[in-house]
Structure 1
Amino acid sequence: MPQMVIPDYAPQIVWLILTFCALYFAMAKFALPTVERVLEERRNRIDANLERAAALKEEAEATARAYEETLTQARNEAQEVLRKATEAFAEVTTKKAAAFDAELGEKTKAAESRITQLREKARAETKSVATEVAAAIAARLIGTKLPENQVAIAVEAAIKEEV
C-alpha cells in the first residue's frame, strides 16, 4: 500500500497540506461566503416574516377591538332606539287611553242624561196614564166621574209612597 511506504510519507504530507490549504482557500473564498449569504438571506427572510406576522397580529387584534367596540356601540344604539320606541309607544298608548276614557266619559254622561230624560218622560207619561186609568177605574167602580185634579193628587201620593 502506498500510504504505508515511509520514504513517500513526507511528500504525501506536503501534498496533504497543499491540498488542504487550496481546499481551505477555495472554501473560504467561494463556497462558505455563498453559504453564509444564503443563511443570512434566510435569517433575514425569517425575521421579516416574523415581523410581518407580528404586525398582522397587531392589526388583527386592533381590528377585533374595533369590531367589538362597534358591536357594543351598535347594541347600545339598538337598546336606545328600542327604549325610545317603547317610551313613544307608551306615550301614544297613554294618550289614546286618556282620549278613549274622556270619550267614554262623555258618552256615559250623555247616555246617563238621555236615560234621566227618558225616565222623567216615562214618569210624566206614567202619571198621566195612571191618572186616566185611576179616573176610569174610579168612575166604573163608583159610577161617577171624579175631578181630574183630585185623581192626579191621589196618584202622585201613591207614586211617592212607592218610591
Structure 2
Amino acid sequence: MKIRVDEVKKKRVDLNEEEPAAHYPNLVEMEQAGECSFIAPVHTELSAVWEYDHVRAAGKVNTAAKLTCSRCLAEYEIPVSSDFTIFYTQSSGEQLDEEVELSDEDLISVSFQGDEINFDFEIAEQVMMEIPFKPLCSEDCKGLCTECGADLNQGDCGCDRGTVNLKMSALKKLSIDK
C-alpha cells in the first residue's frame, strides 16, 4: 500500500486494501518459524493527511490467525485487529551520533525518503504486535499432564503429580544465608 506525498499535501487520501499475509515478508517469516498461520487476508483501512511538516496516517488492520496453545498444544483461532496512528516525516539524510531523548510522538514516527510512502512494513508490524508471545487457548488452560501427557482441560488423568521430582530434590536441602 503506497501513497504519493504530493497527493496528501493537496487533500486527505483514504485507502482500503486487502492483501494475503504472503504479501508481507515479516508475516511470512512468522509462519515459517511456526509462530502462527494466517487464515484470512490482511484488511487495511487507512487515512493519510498532511499536517505541518509531516503525514499523519491513521488506520485499522484486521486479519485472523491460527495459533498453538503453549500449555496444552491445542490449535485455536483468534481475530487480529489493531488501530494505529503513525507520523511520517521527510528524512533529511543525516545520521545522529549522539543520544537523544525521544518524545511520545517520536516513538510512533517513521521517516521516509522520496515522494512516496510505502505502508507495508508498518502494516505488518501492527499485525505482528497483536500476535501473543505466549499463546493461550484460554486464561484458565490447565495444560498437559507432566506424567502421561494427557490434556488436563478434558479432565483429570489420574496420575499422581504431587510427588517430588528426584532431579530437583537436592535443592530442598539448600539453605541460603542472608
TM-score using structure 1 length: 0.20
- Select the structure with the greater relative contact order (CA < 8 A; seq sep ≥ 6): 2
Q: Rg bigger for which structure?
A: 1
Q: TM-score, normalised by structure 2?
A: 0.19
Structure richer in helix, relative to its length: 1
* Structure richer in strand, relative to its length: 2
